[in-house]
Structure 1
Amino acid sequence: MGKSGYLLLTNLILNICFREKLLEWIKYTQSNTEWMKSASMASKFRVQGNEKFKKCDDAGSLAFYTKSVVNAPRDSEELSLALANRSAALFHLGAYQECLRDIALALQSGYPTSLHYKLYLRRSQCLSILNRHKEEVEALQSAQKCLELTRNMSLSKKSSIERDIELALSEASSQLSIGSIQSASDGSEVSCIPVLTYGENQRFAYASAALDLRYTEEQGRHVVANRDVKMGDTLFVERPYAFVVLPDQYRAHCHNCCASYTAPVPCWECTLALYCSEACRQESWDLYHQWECHGGLELLHSIGIAHLGLRVVLKSGSLPTLKDFFTKLQESGSQLQDTYGDKQYNYKAVYQLVSHLDDMKLEDLFQYTMTACMLTLYLCHYTDYFKVEENSLSPDELLQDRKSVVCLVGAMILRHIAQLVCNGHAITKLDRTFPENENKEVWTERQVRIATAIYPSASMMNHSCDPNIINSFYNQYLIVRACKDISKGEEVFNCYGPHFRHMGSQERQEALRSQYFFICTCRPCSLSGQQDFQERFSALLCPKCSGPLLEGSESSRHMTCSDCGHSASISGLIENAFQAHALFNEGVVALDTGDIKQALKKFEACWYLRQQCLYRSHKDLTTCVDQLAKCYSMLGDYGRSVECLLLILPAVEEQFGSNSIEVANELQKLSDVMICDISDHSLGSAAYLEKHKKATECVQRAKRIFELHYGIWNTGLQDILYKEGQLEQMVM
């Protein structure tokens, strides 16, 4: 790491005055006790869940039972009751695997013996539905034994339950004897993770064999194709070295693997860390959470990406392992290795990522160093992380030793914080929402940030504002596919965020220079015709060739077309644009108040004016047509709605590219309305068949794009596959 950063860190961490100020801040954040378990809170939430369950609100009861599970102390009766009740809600919701897990956890947590038979009966019902009849018989037999031990029950009720168990046993045994097919859903999840095209690279961890890692003074480390690569080929499938779920996603995604869950398994000690399984909970505790628990996450929430810097160090092994690694690193020097990355222990690949500590502004360096000092003090004073030190010194004694492992750990945290500024990846997920007051033909999608992660192999790709790969995520896994054909010997480029289809040239350069410390010279940044690309979609209309008026002239009342060079007066165009804007706002108000016909009238007038003054792919023009399509759809005129959505497609293709996810989303929306339009025509008629053909073409194109960007786990692709089947049924 940079010498200036290390010297600053050691001076700050050993300065008594500075140290006391940081410890005061840590103590303040630790005073928040929201992370603590509470039997009374667990009981309160369980009672609220019971009320919802009585009203057959299974989803509502699940939410309260989960709060009860999260707040209940470890191995308490309250925890067992919450788990048992949640298993009932899960059964009613059809979440049978989660139900079985909660039943097992309730029994392990001390669920009252007199009620064990209830859980075994519920277990048998789940297993029956899953066609796991051998286990069903075992569960029913356990229910019988537990019922025999139950004392406080009327004889008639007990006899009734015994008869029910006998009937269920008879049925299960019958199914078992005829060899009923065992369900494949036995708890093991079918993996959606794609396979690397051309096989695994033995010298480049997580990369395809089609890639080589190269080094030059000018480009640094970079990735090159060693053969022709086709669009859609999978080039990286990488598990992160470490990641942290963002605080606003704690209640939706596993703290350890980033998977979404229905009924989370909570940390044993705190209410913040939630998991998809017991295995994830145990792994998380062993690797890092034991040092982040007991209020630590409250502190870590306040420091952003620095939390991941700490997580990297914690996941890198025990203190002896870290010291041994650092010793070997110093002995080997900076010589290049034949291989990069190791799936078993990938810390070296992370450590060798560029940190740019010596390139940073002093104020940024001081901030990162101060944060690293605070995290080191937190480990010293609020965890047992340093307990393995041979000297068994007190925290203050450790800090007085300038050569101690404490400063080494602090330096590593600082290095990783700085690396993450340039190498951190945002794990994202596509989120779809349906407005409550509108029909299902109208929906919106957006990328939601789930977590921040570090992928050392994928970090080897250099940046281009027009990349030839696309990234997607399946839980914690990063999947990199070629979005264009890549020739042998051609460099593989990622986009670090500033994409020429989403951001102007000057803004891109500023972003890359401030965060990544380089000036981009990629094709969109170098070619004069590409530098004003974004301006096309906010341009006025050239009266001569219908191109975009972009460049200014000597007069402020004239602009020049970037396509034909014609200079045109813009006063009339601007006047029409203002009138159209007023009409659009009136249409929005009418739509909000439910007057769809009036909204349609306003949007049609707006569209007419905007066609006269705005470039054909202007954002305002496409937004207006989209509102027209919405109005027609809400009025049931699906044919006109389809016509409007077809007008939008060329503009979306021009701005984002023909294989972009934005085009796929438009095709998704279009296919929804097309299917509704088909249903308005007589089965087998010429119009029906023609519209069916076009809808099928639309769905097939959307499918190809979604498959390029995502995998079968993606809801957009799942919807398209459903519609593909739906269209097949419509011609049978």
Structure 2
Amino acid sequence: METLKSAVPDALKQEISNSTPSQLPSTCSSLLHFFHKLPQFHQMIKDLTDPSVALCCKDRNAALENKLKGNECFSNGEYSNALLFYSKALRFAPVDMGDMEINLVALLYVNRASTLQKMGLLLECLRDCSRALRVSPRYAKGWFRRGKANISLGKFEDAIRDLNISLMLEISSSGKRQIEAELKIALDKFKRIGIPGKKTNQNQSEVPDEPDQVKLQCLLTTTKGRGMFCVDDVSEASLVHKEDPYAAVILKKCRETHCHFCFNELPADAISCVSCSIPLYCSDWCQKQAGAPKFDRSSNSFSDLEGLADDLKNYMSDVVLAGASTLDTGHIAEHRHECQGFHWPLILPSEVVLAGRILVKVIEQNRHASADSNLVGFLLVILLSQIQVNSMAVVRMQAPKVKGPIYEPGNALTSNLEQVKVGQAVYVAGSFFNHSCQPNIHTYFLSRTLHIQATEYVLAGSELELSYGPQVGQWDCKDRQRLLEDRYSFTCQCTGCSELNVSDLVINAYRCTKLNCLGVILDRTVTTCEKQKLKLLIDAPTVYSKQVEKLKDDNIAEVACHVFESDYKLEPQHCLVCDSYRDLESSCAAISQTENCCKRLQDAIASNEVPTNILRDAVKYTDLLRTIFHPYNKIIAEVEDNLAQAFCLVGELQAAIDHCKASIQILEKLYGANHIAIGNELIKLVSLQILVGDTAASGSISRITAILSRYYGSHADEIYPYLRHLKGRQDAD
């Protein structure tokens, strides 16, 4: 790729660099024309797409090598390592290896099933047995292992069928005796219980039906282009919109840990494509939806078995062909055009892959139209220029995995919960929702499906806005606007950026030198930003009058009462309540003394071991910070949060609770009492309250439930699995 880039003439590079949007057609054509004449370009395309040399080709030797390593680990009782090696072998194993008596893929699935059973993962074991039989329906050991898994699951009727089929297919005497012994166990247990095990639907969701979605209207706005508006009033916590992506791609960092289709975490029995070695899927369903080739075995594979009852033949057919039909969801089979060639998501940037997948979908939907290469190239450039703005990051909530009751000390949750980006996708309707630093809707993802929830009551005809980046309370106004301009090329004019608010005044503010004064002192850059807001308001007297009344309700008078005075001029380093002066240069010098101490505390927390001297110094320097920063400054909230974690680690739980509460009180000033950030912090608090037997835990759990339901509706428990444990504890009390 670098060789190709270096081959582009400087004059053409300069032409492309200086081109305007209107010149894109000509510059794109020039670049395409140059590459078409370049032999290296055509050779690179061949190298990347030839199945015999592509990065994703199968490798028999690699599969056999990993199988042997898995066998060794299994023999030594190292089941976790055996699972890893068998899974890796499955990625490389060709589906048809003709020189083996038993199909290698089927053998590996059975080996992995045996490992999963040893680890107590019985459902995963059962699924792998079924996958082995789809590859090799006459594989006696596959039916035998499936029968044993069904016995462990209490599904004795299925186990008896599995073992009878295995007995019919087994040719060795020792193997038959082993099967007969297991069959006797299954028959005895079935007779005692008298009923078959209940069959479960793996795809059935426990989440209740969602409410009807809100009627939306796409309208042109004067400042932000098209936007989405609600036709009727929208209640708080209503599902506003739900949509599957037009195109999606997993991020490179998540290729080994998350499903390449639904983006959920990979289970122990993850599966790979049968034709190439790169993608991984969490289920057969996701594999089919992605368009990966699937095993295709018909009932003719076993219909000629003599002595096998018809009901067992039908049962074999059900097992082997289970879920064989491909579901028509209307999306592009993303992996199909990459399979057995070069796997583009492995190398190319996510935006480029998304652009390519969109083009493929457009071409597939318009097969009758001829595809002009110059037009396709031009469209690709246009797509690349738009995708960064219009695509969405698919995120997952990173939460701890709880083992055992939450009231055990090792399960106290005091670390930060955060959203982790796992994929990138384009949503057609979703791209029309505009940004606001004070959004009235919230986005979340189940699998790859976008859900948008109203977080407050919205009047009919109002615009529904989400946040593209930091919201009010996360960063101050100048930093938010700089990020939005750099990343999305627009200057934010939302209410959070055009009107005064408590958060932007206090988030990075210094405290007044007078002991009992809560007034804020701003530095020069923040003062300049707030002056611009005031100028916009003063230039619109009606708006200014309404804003003054609103600001009184928002308690701005508590920290900056001078802003209500029409003739007052904001000045840096002066208190906005009593006008006292603070030398910020000396204050910043004092703050620098605390940086190393805070870093040592964070490192100690990360190592789960906090020495007494580090904690003592951290408390000392925190007291110093409180004399410099405003009480509502976000840095103080972060320091309080770190102290809560540290005190929890050393076993001083009441001190941890006190610091956690102090952090929450500051964040309530920055975000409001019902923001999702408060819900995340309350989860930490309630974990500590449960540990000390604090009766206030029940009230905290109720408040968490209300906040998370506001943002995630009926899916709150699914997004936050930890919440289920908290509710279980509340019910037990």
Q: Which TM-score applies when normalising by structure 1?
A: 0.76
Give the corresponding residue for 2:672.
657
The alignment partner of 1:501 has SS state of coil
Q: Find the aligned partners of 1:415 and 1:136 in 2 and give their Cα distance.
A: 57
SS at match of 2:249: strand
Q: Where does 1:331-730 land on structure 2 (aligned, <5 Å)? A: 405-432=372-399, 439-441=410-412, 442-527=414-499, 529-530=500-501, 533-534=503-504, 536-544=506-514, 545-552=517-524, 559-570=573-584, 573-574=587-588, 576-581=590-595, 583-584=597-598, 594=609, 596-678=611-693, 691-692=694-695, 694-710=696-712, 712=715, 717-729=720-732
Shift of 1:486: 0.7
User: Pairwise mapping of residues 39-50 of structure 1 onto structure 2 (< 5 A)?
Assistant: 39-50=60-71
Any idea what SS the aligned residue of 2:468 has? Answer: coil
Unaligned runs of 5+ in 1: 200-207, 327-388, 390-403, 679-690
Instruction: Report the residue type matching 2:728 in the other structure.
Output: G
What are the Cα deviations for residues 352-372 of structure 1, in whole angstroms up to 9, with x where unaligned? xxxxxxxxxxxxxxxxxxxxx
1:231 corresponds in structure 2 to 236
The one-letter code of the counterpart of 2:114 is A
Contact 2:709 2:716 in 1 (8 A): no
The answer to whether structure 1 residue 322 and structure 2 residue 292 are counterparts is no
Q: Percent identity?
A: 22
Q: How far off is 1:181 after superposition?
A: 5.9
Alignment of 1:141 with 2:164, yes or no, is yes
Question: Using the alignment, how far apart are the partners of 2:383 and 2:208 within structure 1?
Answer: 28
Aligned with 2:278 (options 272, 275, 290): 272
* Matched residue SS, 1:296: coil
Offset of residue 675 of structure 1 = 0.9
Deviation for aligned residue 1:15:
3.7
Looking at structure 2, the residues matched to 256 and 571 of structure 1 have their Cα atoms a distance apart, in angstroms, of: 53
535-544 vs 580-589, greater mean Cα deviation? 580-589
- Quote the residue 1:163 is aligned against: 181
Alignment of 1:8-23 (within 5 A): 8-15=27-34, 19-23=38-42
Per the TM alignment, residue 478 of structure 1 is displaced from its structure 2 partner at its CA by 0.8
Deviations 1:83-104 (A, max 9, x none): 1111122233444443233212
Across the aligned residues of Structure 1 and Structure 2, the Cα RMSD in angstroms comes to 3.4
Report matched runs for 1:75-224 at 5 Å: 75-76=96-97, 77-110=103-136, 116-147=139-170, 150-151=171-172, 153-154=173-174, 158-159=176-177, 161-172=179-190, 174-175=192-193, 178-180=194-196, 182-183=198-199, 185-190=200-205, 192=207, 195=210, 197=211, 199=212, 208-215=213-220, 219-224=224-229
Q: Report the CA distance shift for 1:27/1:283 in structure 2 as closer, same or farther (over 3 A).
A: same
Counterpart CA distance in 2 for 1:586 and 1:517 is: 38
Residue 356 of structure 1 aligns with which residue? none
CA distance in 1, matches of 2:361, 2:432: 21
8 Å Cα contact 1:48-1:61 kept in structure 2 = yes
Q: Is the 8 A contact 1:703 1:717 kept in 2?
A: no
2:82 maps to 61
Per-residue CA deviations over 1:586-638 (Å, capped at 9, x if unaligned) read: 65677769563223321221222222222113344233323332333223221
Give, in angstroms, the shift of residue 213 of structure 1: 2.6
Aligned-pair CA distance for 1:218: 5.2
Where 2:645 maps in the other structure, the secondary structure is helix
How far apart are the structure 1 equivalents of 2:183 and 2:285? 33
CA contact under 8 A between 1:79 and 1:106: conserved in structure 2? yes
Conserved 8 A contact 2:433-2:466: yes
Matches of 1:535 and 1:78, distance apart in 2: 66
Distance of 1:25 and 1:547 partners within structure 2: 64
Distance in 2 between residues matched to 1:558 and 1:516, nearest whole Å: 30
Shift in alpha-carbon separation, 1:585–1:215, aligned structure 2, 3 A: closer
Displacement after TM superposition at 1:243 (Å)? 0.3
Distance 1:483 1:562, change over 3 A: farther
Q: Of residues 330, 336, 342 in structure 2, which corresponds to 1:290?
A: 336
- Check the 8 A contact 1:712/1:718 in 2, yes or no: no
Are the equivalent residues in 2 in contact too, given 1:259–1:475 (CA < 8 A)?
Answer: yes
Q: Unaligned 5+ residue runs, structure 2?
A: 1-19, 98-102, 293-332, 403-408, 529-570
- What is the aligned length? 612
Q: Aligned pair in 2 of structure 1 residues 476, 713: CA closer, same or farther (>3 Å)?
A: farther
- Give the conservation status (yes or no) of the 8 Å contact 2:251–2:423: yes
Which amino acid in 2 is paired with 1:79?
V
Offset of 1:583 from its aligned partner? 4.8
> What is the Cα deviation at residue 129 of structure 1?
4.5
CA-to-aligned-CA distance 1:549-601 (integer Å, 9 cap, x gap): 104499xx971224554333446644653444455456567776956322332
Distance 2:36 2:377 in 1: 18
Letter of the 1:246 partner, please give it. L
Structure 1's 600 and 292: CA in aligned 2 closer, same or farther, altered over 3 A? same
Kept in 2: contact 1:265–1:278 (CA 8 A): yes
Corresponding position of 1:686: none
Q: Is the 8 A contact 1:558 1:568 kept in 2?
A: no
Q: CA separation of 1:589/1:219 partners in 2, compared to 1, >3 Å: closer, same or farther?
A: closer
Q: 1:623 to 1:520 in 2, by over 3 A?
A: closer
CA distance in 2, matches of 1:127, 1:596: 51
Q: CA shift at 1:280, angstroms? A: 3.2
Q: Secondary structure at the match of 1:470?
A: strand
Q: Could you give the per-residue CA deviations for residues 489-533 of structure 1, whole angstroms, max 9, x where no partner exists?
A: 211112222433333333433444455443322112212x34x94
1-structure distance, mates of 2:604, 2:278 = 45
Secondary structure at 1:615's aligned position in 2? coil
Q: Distance in 2 between matches of 1:48 and 1:564?
A: 74
Q: Contact 1:671 / 1:699 at 8 angstroms: preserved in 2?
A: yes
Write the deviation string for residues 29-80 of structure 1: whole angstroms up to 9, x where unpaired: 5697542211111112122222332343333322221101111112333222
Residues 632-670 of structure 1 show CA distances to partners (whole Å, capped at 9, x for unaligned) of 322322122211211111112223333333222211111
Closer, same or farther: CA 128–590 of 1 in aligned 2, 3 Å: closer
Deviates more, 1:225-234 or 1:185-194: 185-194
Superposed CA offset, 1:382-401 (max 9, x none): xxxxxxx7xxxxxxxxxxxx
Asked whether the 8 Å contact 1:559–1:570 carries over to 2, the reply is yes
Residues 128 and 3 of structure 1, relative CA distance in 2, 3 Å threshold:
farther
SS of structure 2 residue aligned to 1:425: strand
Partner Cα separation in structure 1 for residue 704 and residue 494 of structure 2? 29
Answer whether contact 1:439 1:634 (CA < 8 A) is retained: no
Q: Deviations over 1:179-229 (max 9, x none)?
A: 35624x23333264862x4x2xxxxxxxx2443233356553322222221
Alpha-carbon distance between aligned partners in 2 of 1:621 and 1:216, rounded to the nearest angstrom: 40
Alpha-carbon contact 2:522-2:573 (below 8 Å) kept: yes
8 Å contact from structure 2 (residues 148, 182) kept in 1: no
- Alpha carbons of structure 1 residues 44 and 564: separation in structure 2 relative to 1, 3 Å: farther
CA distance in 2, matches of 1:257, 1:593: 33
Q: What is the letter of the counterpart of residue 453 of structure 1?
A: A
